[in-house]
Homo-oligomer: A and B are copies of this chain.
């Protein structure tokens, strides 16, 4: 009676090869290959013999060798984001993974820590690892050099921030309109002094959000530059910017925070200071409902899914022209953005005055 556990190779520490399987089954290498791969033209009895032998040896096909022999690069898609532990990025990764899975593709991820040089390193690394497509939340502000990657047949999909100086797929949010409408919302509640806390100016998303802010303020004759703060790139700097804004002699009556991290930092600072200006944040986040925070919401999981779809389409060459998807946002009203301005503050921030 044959042993049913894979222990023949136990402890030898190196994976059995197809040749060993073939020998054990008493067939040629090629026949073993056919059997293992489920190809036709193998007698049922032979196939069973091979499969038994494979099982006994604990054989697993060496995918790398298999792909190499077939001239296929790989079925792995690379995703580079800023920081895996940021919920926005991890939700994105989840969406990408979900979609890839439906196509029998695999995902590898890496974090650039929002550092352009690190990002370049990772891209190189991924390319040498023969990834099939690259999905990127990029920190680099000039992507012309990446044309070479596309030329090699590796599609690049930009997510959240579109590619600069390169014709490539992208999935981005409607940052301008999302922010503009949020600011309109605040102005409608009587706010005239509205603070803006934004991320690094280098980031495209940030710039678009700021432009939306400027447009809304301008449309109502308000000065957008009086309470603007930039470069809030992590919790610490976000808190600092917020503290700075709220403790000055003439603080804004409302705050717009341009991403989830900054919103969290602002909430912490507001809680510490014991003040509660009106607040709208870009990006929804967990517990925003419990905390009653009004946000410009969108679905990062969905963004990831769409990005993966674009990547797959490109891999399969179903499309020749780069495709650009803009995802609309929606204002989720929960209370913090609906606090009205104190009457005294009204009219304190006209451009002319």
Residues of A at the B interface (CB closer than 8 Å) are 5-7, 9-15, 58, 60-65, 67-68, 73-74, 76, 83-87, 89-91, 93-94, 97, 106-111, 124-125, 127-130, 148, 151-153, 264, 267-268, 271, 285-287, 289-291, 301
Shortest beta-carbon distance from A143 to chain B in Å: 14
**A74 partner residues in chain B, CB cutoff 8 A:** 64
CB pair A84–B62 under 8 Å, yes or no, is no
Complex: how many Å from CA A89 to CA B11? Answer: 32
Q: Which of A67, A85, A108, A110 has the most CB of B within 10 A?
A: A85
**Can you name 19 A-B residue pairings with CB atoms under 8 Å?**
A10-B148, A11-B151, A15-B130, A15-B152, A15-B153, A58-B148, A58-B151, A58-B152, A60-B152, A63-B130, A64-B64, A64-B129, A85-B91, A97-B109, A97-B110, A97-B111, A106-B108, A106-B129, A267-B287
**A109 partner residues in chain B, CB cutoff 8 A:** 93, 97, 107-109
Complex: how many Å from CA A11 to CA B154? Answer: 11
Complex: how many Å from CA A74 to CA B64? Answer: 9
**A91 partner residues in chain B, CB cutoff 8 A:** 85
Candidates B68, B111, B264, B291; contact of A65 at CB < 8 Å? B68
CB pair B291–A264 under 8 Å, yes or no, is no
**A73 partner residues in chain B, CB cutoff 8 A:** 15
Shortest beta-carbon distance from A60 to chain B in Å: 5
Complex: how many Å from CA A251 to CA B6? Answer: 53
CB pair A84–B76 under 8 Å, yes or no, is no
Shortest beta-carbon distance from A301 to chain B in Å: 7
Q: Is the interface of A mostly helix, strand, loop or mixed?
A: mixed
Complex: how many Å from CA A13 to CA B132? Answer: 12
Residue in B closest to A64 when the chains form the complex, CB atoms = B64
Shortest beta-carbon distance from A109 to chain B in Å: 6
CB pair A130–B64 under 8 Å, yes or no, is yes
**A93 partner residues in chain B, CB cutoff 8 A:** 84-85, 90, 109
Complex: how many Å from CA A106 to CA B83? Answer: 15
Number of copies: 2
CB pair A108–B76 under 8 Å, yes or no, is yes
Complex: how many Å from CA A106 to CA B285? Answer: 29
CB pair A287–B301 under 8 Å, yes or no, is no
**A84 partner residues in chain B, CB cutoff 8 A:** 90, 93-94, 97
**A15 partner residues in chain B, CB cutoff 8 A:** 73, 130, 152-153
Shortest beta-carbon distance from A25 to chain B in Å: 19
CB pair A63–B128 under 8 Å, yes or no, is yes
**A127 partner residues in chain B, CB cutoff 8 A:** 60
Complex: how many Å from CA A41 to CA B180? Answer: 63
Complex: how many Å from CA A290 to CA B152? Answer: 49
Interface pairs A-B: 3 shortest CB-CB: A90-B90, A13-B153, A108-B108
**A97 partner residues in chain B, CB cutoff 8 A:** 84, 109-111
Candidates B13, B83, B148, B271; contact of A5 at CB < 8 Å? B148
Other than the given A60-B124, A107-B108, 20 more pairs (CB < 8 A) read A5-B148, A9-B151, A10-B148, A10-B151, A15-B153, A58-B151, A58-B152, A63-B128, A63-B130, A76-B108, A83-B94, A85-B90, A85-B93, A87-B87, A107-B110, A108-B108, A264-B286, A264-B287, A271-B289, A285-B286
Complex: how many Å from CA A12 to CA B91? Answer: 35
A106 and B111 in contact (CB under 8 A), knowing A128-B60, A153-B14?
no
